[in-house]
Amino acid sequence: MVVKGRIVWVSGPAVKADGMSAAKMYETVEVGDSKLIGEVIRLTGDIAFIQVYESTSGLKPGEPVVGTGQPLSVLLGPGIIGRIYDGIQRPLDEIAQKSGAFIGRGIQTTPVDMKKKFHFVPSMKKGDVVGPGSILGVVDETQLLKHSILVPPYHAKDAKLVDIVAEGDYDLEQVIATSEKDGVKVPLKMYHKWPVRKPRPYAERYDPTVPLVTGQRVIDTYFPIAKGGTGAIPGGFGTGKTVTMHQIAKWADSKVVVYIGCGERGNEMTEVLVEFPHLIDPRSGRPLMERTVLVANTSNMPVAAREASIYTGVTMAEYYRDMGFDVVLVADSTSRWAEALREMSGRLEEMPAEEGYPSYLASRLAEFYERAGRVRALGSPDRAGSVTLVGAVSPSGADFTEPVTTHTIRFIKTFWALDTRLAYSRHYPSINWMQSYSGYLEDVSKWWKENVSPEWYELRSESYHILQREDTLKEIVRLLGPEALPDEEKLVLEVARMIKIGILQQNSFDKVDTYCGPEKQVKLVKLMVKFFKEAQKALKSEVSLTEIRAMPIITQLLKAKFEIPEEQLQKLQDLDKELDEQFRKLSAGGSKTEEVKVVA
Amino acid sequence: MPETTAGIEYTKVAEIKGPLMVIDGITKASFDELVEIETSEGERRLGKVLEVGFGKAVVQVFEGTTGLTITGTKAKFLGKTMEMPVSQELLGRVFDGLGRPNDGLPDPIADKFLDVNGEPMNPERREYPTSFIQTGVSVIDGMLTLVRGQKLPIFSGSGMPHNILAAQIARQAAVVGTKEDFAVVFAAIGVQYSEAQYFKRSLEESGALRRSVLFLNLADDPAIERIITPRVALTVAEYLAYDLGMHVLAILTDMTNYAEALREISAAREEVPGRKGYPGYLYTDLANNYERAGRIKGKDGSVTQVPILSMPADDITHPIPDLTGYITEGQIVLGRDLFRKGVYPPVNVLMSLSRLMKDGVGEGKTRSDHMEVGNQLYDLYSRAQEVRALAEIVGRAGLTGTDLKYLDAGDMFENYFLKQAADENRNLEETLGRAWEVLSTLPEGELTKIKDKHVKQYYKGSK
């Protein structure tokens, strides 16, 4: 039965309609004469409270509200990759074709081109048993991605495939297979729909143990995130949240990237659209856009659709996970999503908790981050996929004690704290190494040991220890000046400076430095640690700190990150020899040169 | 709107509170609709519908509710949202905060009427901004490059020369090597008469006034009108840019007054407040203004925004600068210390940032060493500041040779690079030349952010 009601009240994105007693919670409705899309978020008697995903300017009481009977859903099938959608999966290029450079209202679109033909290669045959998640066959969605055609999760278990088409070109509306159970025949197409607020089911959950390699040294080496894990990047404005998010989206070793621009700048989405088709994935050699989906609900687009954009994005991510892929979802920024919640909550006149946020903020955040994970997908063949969730947080006043940050921290395991002070001194990425942490460190160390270097864990600890010591010594320097420290401790400061410049700082805009592979990361750290140990030895054998500071190898070590590209890593070996050689000369020189005191 | 509500007049005022008026017995009214109010004395005011339903409409009165009465007040619902008449004739004109002429001249002939709220620009149709604008101000051109279509605010504090800087940018801004149509749209939002006059005079003296459109809501004008002032200004800016193909520089001053007007309405509506009493939707509302900057694929014009806001008590974490910084593409922060030292422009470079600089400079756009020089200057000044702090404890004598060089380079940076006259227009060559002179006082080995070939080409110091 189609629900038909009338608008009785309008205030911003919130609308009340009566005659809605048959409506369901979270049902999608068409609001007003211009058929704006909305969602029922509260029912009282026959009055429904609706959040509208488009501007309500000009809407008036008396206009109709028509139910669709469906909850807010996304269409899942080939053709999603490479597209840019708004918060409710409407393609922005199609909207632009219909309404020009500015986004109009009430525009009807389809999420993917239903007429586009894909070359379908069946992997099942007549008579096979099918159930939720079974792979019927594959199509090439992009050159980079073999898209598995999945039987929908809501399909009956243990059905029988009574028909499946031969290899060939089919569009999305064509029936490619038919299943039967207990005499009920179900036609299957290359797509299905799924309600965004409901996590897609899986067979079993695994522990995340494989790191997501992002090519960012401070992340991979010091605060790693695992595939299927969760992480948050809080930071004040100007600390480089968006650049860090872009870096993860560009270089993470996942098969699919879902990038959600949630209440952020329009130009940032344009930047991704302009840049990604030209950036080449270091592993596949194909443009990054061939593995990326964008969901853009910029800050000036309707606030209710911003709330939905997170769910739209994560549902698409889960869909690709179910094919057995590793998927990364970056959401920039979850604070704007929380603000959308707050705004709707305010209009619902709910009792607010901290700073006006609704009391269910924490549980909503928890539900979102719980949709991350590494899982065994439903159906056959057996396959594991993962969704890694990374959320940017924009704390007001860069204050990490505000509600969105404090609640987010409870549900994530990797915390990359961006530091305004580091950003002011142009230390990028401005991830504060004392405040940040990773709950996956132990979990992923096995992978590093087996795949990159057996010493990884020790090297990481030793270099991190130098940074920790520097942090303590800094206090003394602040009070008494550096000259108050003994040489041994001054050396700690010197090497910490080297680690900061040579390892932690990474220039996203430099062609070489933007991506640093695991092997290079370990080798760079190893060189720094080695320098420290050699310098300690030299100090003990009467070499002065001034001599050590004057060693040319230091500049070479600091520049190695951008001077030595991935394909010339043997040059790091040369650097290693050079290091040995310079220390040998130093100690052989024997005669201690006078320490030069500069008099002002 | 298929069914028009135009011209329906209501007389049943239920309540008047703060800037709001609640009207009863409403049969037809739409959200956001424009309302013309006639007081019992026959005075006309404008308002718009904030909320409608159950026979009631909540109307926000732009000119304030002073003098309104429960009986005898008429409200006419005009059946449309607030619109601004636009045409080329707007250039050279002065309007009030609601977009009505206040220069004594008649209404300009309208080419069309545009909804002042605008519509969100489709990110898919945006053209990514990459054209360098030379402002003639060294610190901006060299380190905080402004790019066409960017939104780059000035964060200031009371008494600091943000207006002088904005006026200098407006006078001098040019894209090198091109002679294109430009226009200035200036919106005064609750500023003092003298500030608006300064700006107007400055445009007049440079001959730019006839290419400018001014919107003036002064400190003694109705506060609620301020909600509309940036909107009408940006509507005109968008028209000039995307319909007439002009490069528009939009200056909005002072956005703090705008946010305060928003808070006043929110308080009157008894909404749950966010931080410091500002409404929870302050971010979205500010974004609806700031995001109206940029370029569109296939169109010639652009809107570049320089909003100015004064940070209450110089506090950058205050919600207004804070939320602004999250939306805009960088910020130019004026510093009280430099201002006290007499440095103009007193730009605190370490807190300032231009997010689009990387895309507007370099080979083929400005000069291949531009970005590196900018980064090295940041590094230099950041180190100099650290050394200054240290010198205060241990004295100059306790510093090493390199530290001393940084100390002096920091002073030279402030006095030779940063400091310039308010009417001094330096081209990019001169700006970068001065930058290299400052950098050349450091040992060559300190220039770790600059490629060797550029060091070889431009460095003038000793090893």
A227 and A313 within one domain:
yes
Residue range B347-385, pLDDT digits in tens: 999 999 999 999 999 998 999 999 999 999 999 999 999
A345 and A256 within one domain:
yes
Structure tokens at B90: 């707007």
Q: With bands split at pLDDT 50, 70 and 90, how would you rate the model's confidence at B176?
A: low
Q: What is the pLDDT, as a whole number, of residue A283?
A: 82
Integer Cα distance of B127 and B298 in angstroms:
8
Omega before residue A352 within 30° of 0, cis? no
List A18's β-bridge partners, or say none. A6
> Domain range spanning residue A571?
456-599
Residue range A281-291, pLDDT digits in tens: 878 888 999 99
What percent of chain A is modeled with pLDDT above 70? 98
Residue range B71-115, pLDDT digits in tens: 999 999 999 999 999 999 999 999 999 999 999 999 999 999 999
Q: Give phi and psi for A549, each to the nearest 5.
A: -60, -25
Number of separate domains in chain A: 4
Q: Give, in degrees to the nearest 5, the angle at Cα A296 between A371 and B278.
A: 90
- The set of residues, in sequence order, having a beta carbon less than 8 Å from that of A232 and lying 6+ positions away, is A334, A390, A391, A392, A393, A405, A408, A409, A412, A414, A415, A416
Domain membership flag for residue A104 = no
Q: Do A103 and B115 touch (CB under 8 A)?
A: no
Which stretch of DSSP H or E encloses residue A584?
Answer: helix A570-589
Question: In the 8-state DSSP scheme, what is residue A287?
Answer: B
How far does A56 lie from chain B, in Å, by closest CA?
Answer: 7
Q: Do B30 and A59 touch (CB under 8 A)?
A: yes
Q: What share of chain B is helix, strand, coil (3-state, %, to 5)?
A: 40, 25, 40
How far does A133 lie from chain B, in Å, by closest CA?
Answer: 34
Q: How confident is the prediction along chain A (600 residues), in pLDDT tens digits per residue?
A: 788 999 999 998 999 999 999 999 999 999 999 999 999 999 999 999 999 999 899 899 999 999 999 999 999 999 999 999 999 999 999 999 999 999 988 888 999 999 999 999 999 999 999 999 999 999 999 988 999 999 999 999 999 999 999 999 999 999 999 999 999 999 999 999 999 999 999 999 999 999 999 999 999 999 999 999 999 999 999 899 999 999 999 999 999 999 999 998 999 889 988 888 888 887 888 899 999 999 999 999 988 899 999 999 999 999 999 999 999 999 998 999 999 999 888 888 888 888 889 999 999 999 999 999 999 999 989 999 999 999 999 998 889 999 999 999 999 999 999 999 999 888 999 999 999 999 999 999 999 999 999 999 999 999 999 999 999 998 888 887 777 889 999 999 999 999 999 999 999 988 899 999 999 999 999 999 999 999 999 999 989 998 998 898 998 898 899 889 999 999 999 999 999 999 999 888 754 444 444 433
Rg (CA), chain B: 25
A130 and A36 within one domain:
no
Q: Suggest the residue from B4, B122, B242, B315 to mutate for an interface test with chain A (most A CBs closer than 10 A).
A: B122
Residues in chain A: 600
Integer Cα distance of A124 and A19 in angstroms:
48
Q: Which residues of B touch A59 (CB under 8 A)?
A: 30-31
Q: Which residues of A touch B53 (CB under 8 A)?
A: 7-11, 16, 61
Domain membership flag for residue A106 = no
* Nearest residue in B to A477, CA atom: B390
Q: Which residues of B touch A559 (CB under 8 A)?
A: 448
Q: Do A600 and B326 touch (CB under 8 A)?
A: no
- The set of residues, in sequence order, having a beta carbon less than 8 Å from that of A379 and lying 6+ positions away, is A130, A131, A132, A133, A134, A135, A150, A151
Domain membership flag for residue A445 = no
Q: Which of B51, B280, B350 sits opposite A356 (nearest CB)?
A: B280
Q: What is the pLDDT, as a whole number, of residue B177?
A: 62
Structure tokens at A231: 């992480």
* Nearest residue in A to B281, CA atom: A343
What residue segments make up the domains of chain B, in order of their start?
Answer: 3-80, 84-360, 370-456
Predicted ipTM of the assembly: 0.89
A226 and A80 within one domain:
yes
A348 and A246 within one domain:
yes
CA neighbor of A252 nearest in space, from A274, A220, A293, A209: A220
Integer Cα distance of A531 and A583 in angstroms:
9
Q: What share of chain A is helix, strand, coil (3-state, %, to 5)?
A: 35, 25, 40
Q: Do A33 and B32 touch (CB under 8 A)?
A: no
* Nearest residue in A to B277, CA atom: A355
Integer Cα distance of B463 and B461 in angstroms:
7
CA neighbor of B235 nearest in space, from B300, B307, B167, B303: B303
Tell me the CATH number at A121: 2.40.50.100
Structure tokens at A577: 């020899």
Q: What is the pLDDT, as a whole number, of residue A587?
A: 84
Q: Do A501 and B448 touch (CB under 8 A)?
A: yes
Residue type, A426: R
Integer Cα distance of A168 and A558 in angstroms:
55
Structure tokens at A527: 């060189």
Q: Do A238 and B122 touch (CB under 8 A)?
A: no
Q: What is the pLDDT, as a whole number, of residue A481?
A: 77
Q: What is the pLDDT, as a whole number, of residue B178?
A: 65
On whether any CB of chain A is under 8 Å from the CB of B273, the answer is yes
Q: What is the largest CA-CA distance in chain B?
A: 85
Residue range B279-315, pLDDT digits in tens: 989 999 999 999 999 999 999 999 999 999 999 999 9
How far does B367 lie from chain A, in Å, by closest CA?
Answer: 16
**HEC sequence for B254-318:** CHHHHHHHHHHHHHHCCCCECHHHCECCHHHHHHHHHCCCEEECCCCCEEEEEEEEECHHHCCCC
Which stretch of DSSP H or E encloses residue A139?
Answer: strand A135-142
CATH class of B3-80: mainly beta
Residue range B29-68, pLDDT digits in tens: 999 999 999 998 999 999 999 999 999 999 999 998 988 9
Q: Which residues of B touch A100 (CB under 8 A)?
A: 122, 125
Tokens 């135009």 correspond to B6
Tell me the CATH number at A503: 1.10.1140.10
CA neighbor of A302 nearest in space, from A110, A62, A31: A31
Other C-beta atoms closer than 10 Å to the C-beta of A354 total 14
Integer Cα distance of A245 and A226 in angstroms:
16
Integer Cα distance of A485 and A296 in angstroms:
53
Q: Which of A61, A261, A394 sits opposite B53 (nearest CB)?
A: A61
- The set of residues, in sequence order, having a beta carbon less than 8 Å from that of B68 and lying 6+ positions away, is B13, B16, B21, B37, B39, B61
How far does A288 lie from chain B, in Å, by closest CA?
Answer: 17
Q: Do B120 and A394 touch (CB under 8 A)?
A: no
Q: Do B322 and A424 touch (CB under 8 A)?
A: no
Domain membership flag for residue A328 = yes
Q: Which residues of A touch B329 (CB under 8 A)?
A: 265, 267
Contact A212, A252 (CB under 8 A): yes
**B84-360 has CATH 3.40.50.12240 classification:** yes
Q: What is the pLDDT, as a whole number, of residue B410?
A: 96
Tell me the average pLDDT of chain A: 92
How far does B167 lie from chain A, in Å, by closest CA?
Answer: 26
What is the secondary structure of A60-77 as a DSSP string? -TT-EEEEEEEESEEEES
Domain membership flag for residue A102 = no
How far does B22 lie from chain A, in Å, by closest CA?
Answer: 14
Q: Which residues 187-226 in chain B show a CB within 8 A of chain A?
A: none
A293 and A216 within one domain:
yes
Helix (H, G, I), strand (E, B) or coil at B7: coil
Interface A-B: count of C-beta contacts within 8 A: 218
Q: Give yes or no for residue B274 having a pLDDT over 90.
A: no
Q: Suggest the residue from B23, B144, B272, B392 to mutate for an interface test with chain A (most A CBs closer than 10 A).
A: B272
Q: Which of B2, B119, B281 sits opposite A103 (nearest CB)?
A: B119
Contact B376, B383 (CB under 8 A): no
On whether any CB of chain A is under 8 Å from the CB of B122, the answer is yes
A460 and A435 within one domain:
no
Q: What is the pLDDT, as a whole number, of residue A510?
A: 86
On whether any CB of chain A is under 8 Å from the CB of B119, the answer is yes
Tokens 């443009």 correspond to A287
A578 and A483 within one domain:
yes
**HEC sequence for A11-24:** ECCEEEEECCCCCC
A150 and A270 within one domain:
no
List B250's β-bridge partners, or say none. B185, B305
List A36's β-bridge partners, or say none. A31
Integer Cα distance of A129 and A132 in angstroms:
11
Q: Which residues of B touch A92 (CB under 8 A)?
A: 122-124
Helices B401-412 and B370-394, interaxial angle, to 10°? 120
Integer Cα distance of A464 and A525 in angstroms:
10
Residue range B146-162, pLDDT digits in tens: 999 999 999 999 999 99
Q: What is the pLDDT, as a whole number, of residue A594?
A: 42
Q: Do A84 and B124 touch (CB under 8 A)?
A: yes
A292 and A165 within one domain:
no
Contact A490, A482 (CB under 8 A): yes
On whether any CB of chain A is under 8 Å from the CB of B326, the answer is yes
Q: Give yes or no for residue B275 having a pLDDT over 50.
A: yes
Q: Which CA distances in Å does A514 have to A243, A279, B135, B369?
A: 11, 12, 31, 19
Integer Cα distance of A245 and A329 in angstroms:
10
Q: Which residues of B touch A396 (CB under 8 A)?
A: 275, 317, 319, 322-323
Structure tokens at B286: 């500010």
Rg (CA), chain A: 28
| Ramachandran class of B313: left when φ > 0, alpha when ψ lies in -120 to 50, beta otherwise | left
On whether any CB of chain A is under 8 Å from the CB of B281, the answer is yes
Contact A124, A379 (CB under 8 A): no
Q: Which of B123, B284, B287 sits opposite A269 (nearest CB)?
A: B123
Integer Cα distance of B208 and B204 in angstroms:
6
Among the candidates A371, A405, A440, a domain finishes at A440
Tokens 């940070």 correspond to B311
Q: Which of B2, B32, B287 sits opposite A57 (nearest CB)?
A: B32
A486 and A381 within one domain:
no
Q: Give yes or no for residue B3 having a pLDDT over 50.
A: no
How far does A102 lie from chain B, in Å, by closest CA?
Answer: 4
Domain membership flag for residue A196 = no
A347 and A271 within one domain:
yes
